[in-house]
Amino acid sequence: MSEKITVGILKERDKSENRVSLVPRDVNLLIKMGLSVELENGAGEKAGFLNKDYENVGTKVSKKLSDKINIITSVNAFSSQGNSYVKNSLVISTTNLRNDNKIIEICKKNNLSVIAMEYVPRIARAQKLDALSSQASITGYKAGLIVANSLNKYIPLMMTAAGTLLPANVLVLGAGVAGLQAIATVKRLGADVTGYDIRLAAGEEIRSLGAKFISNEILQDSETDGDYAKEQSKKNQKSQLEFLKEYIIKADAVISTASIPGRPAPKLIEKKTIQLMKPGSVIVDVSAPLGGNCECTKLGEMVIINNIKIFGPSNLPSEMPYDASIVYSKNIFNLIELLLQDKKMEMNLHDEIIDAMLVIEKGKKRIRV
């Protein structure tokens, strides 16, 4: 009889990471599919899932993952804060492969294969395993809450016996998954919301959430075939900065989420524009990990300039680890289910999802990475 396929859940090494890659509910489903699951001691604790919750569904809890593991799951398996690897296994995780050459060395040394969650193709069939979307949605929601918590005014219109208070004016730059969720969140809180994106298709989505859409006429047609935005020419970038300046100055809060895959985040908020903003305004620069949309953003910090707060959050999904883990885990479960359709550990590279996401195979980088 062939050995059971064993999945190992890594304990995240990055101290600021609170999420876990598989939650007990999905572990239960994996076990029902005939797999075995091992958990590194305490891996789910910070997200609200205890060892006993995993044990109750049949997971073995170990101090260190055993060498029986075939598949390792993680949120960030190649953290700069280290990790331990089980030789010859398949790692399923988000990675920083585009910027971190050490990952290739680690994989070569340990003969690892890697399915990188950030390489998910943006096609309908892949939506259920799209961790970029499940986590970006949380990022947008949390960005809206940062605005609500740090503004020096109400978000909604308030008509009180002591006078009428106008709603906060919130500008959202970039209307992908995070931007649209940020719009929906501040809109629900009663803000007067304006959205901006260089993809005109985003206009319809912004309006469908009840926000105003602004667009710069010069920058028509900025969408690639894969639904992503195109990087702008120097001339267009200048025109964008000029166009956005008047809206940024009027806003009480700006949430910026603009990004282009594999490129530094486009600069949309200049220091000289910030100096013209109203004191007490807030900027939440969600693109901080990619270099930021704002010239003054500092990753992981809150900077104050002229009484304007500029937040550069580094990992917002980790600040809501329970639900972030539940949806990430479902993405991972759906991926494992797709991989093991024939109950074998062989990669079906004819499947465009697997072909796109398997970035390293047995220690060797595949061509598109």
Binding positions for ligand NAD, rule: CB under 6 A: 122-124, 126-127, 130, 132-133, 136, 173-179, 196-199, 202, 227-229, 232, 257-261, 266, 268
The answer to whether residues 175 and 195 touch, using CB atoms and an 8 Å cutoff, is: yes
Nearer to ligand NAD, 113 or 287 (CB): 287
Which is catalytic among the residues 80, 127, 275, 314? 127
Nearer to ligand NAD, 56 or 127 (CB): 127
By C-alpha distance, which of 352, 367, 362, 360 is closest to 121?
352
By C-alpha distance, which of 50, 12, 108, 114 is closest to 335?
114
What are residue 163's DSSP bridge partners? 160
Nearer to ligand NAD, 1 or 124 (CB): 124
Strand, coil or helix: what is 29? helix
Q: Shortest distance, CB of residue 126 to ligand NAD, whole angstroms?
A: 6
130 catalytically annotated: yes
Q: Shortest distance, CB of residue 14 to ligand NAD, whole angstroms?
A: 21
Place of tokens 């062939």: 2
14 catalytically annotated: no
Sheet of 358-361, strand order: 60-62, 36-40, 6-9, 71-76, 90-94, 113-116, 358-361, 364-365
Specify the amino acid at residue 22.
L
Which is catalytic among the residues 122, 188, 263, 366? 122
Pairwise CA distance, residues 162 & 272, whole Å: 36
Token pair belonging to 61: 């809890």
Q: What is the dihedral of CA 124, 127, 132, 137, to 10 degrees?
A: 100
Q: Shortest distance, CB of residue 59 to ligand NAD, whole angstroms?
A: 31
Query: Alpha helix locations (H) across 224-320?
Result: 234-250, 271-274
Nearer to ligand NAD, 266 or 363 (CB): 266
Q: Shortest distance, CB of residue 232 to ligand NAD, whole angstroms?
A: 5
Which is catalytic among the residues 13, 188, 228, 351? 228
Q: Shortest distance, CB of residue 274 to ligand NAD, whole angstroms?
A: 17
Which is catalytic among the residues 130, 197, 252, 285? 130
Pairwise CA distance, residues 198 & 122, whole Å: 18
154 catalytically annotated: no
36 catalytically annotated: no
Torsional sign, CA 163, 167, 169, 170: positive
Token pair belonging to 365: 């980088």
Nearer to ligand NAD, 44 or 176 (CB): 176
Angle of helix 24-32 relative to helix 321-339, nearest 10 degrees, comes to: 20
Q: Shortest distance, CB of residue 162 to ligand NAD, whole angstroms?
A: 39
Q: Shortest distance, CB of residue 85 to ligand NAD, whole angstroms?
A: 29
Nearer to ligand NAD, 132 or 251 (CB): 132
122 catalytically annotated: yes
Place of tokens 């649209």: 180
By C-alpha distance, which of 96, 71, 109 is closest to 339?
71
Nearer to ligand NAD, 92 or 177 (CB): 177
Pairwise CA distance, residues 293 & 83, whole Å: 31
Pairwise CA distance, residues 118 & 74, whole Å: 13
The answer to whether residues 64 and 84 touch, using CB atoms and an 8 Å cutoff, is: yes
Which residue's Cβ lies closest to ligand NAD?
176
Which is catalytic among the residues 133, 215, 240, 259? 133
Query: Which residues carry out catalysis?
Result: 122, 127, 130, 133, 228
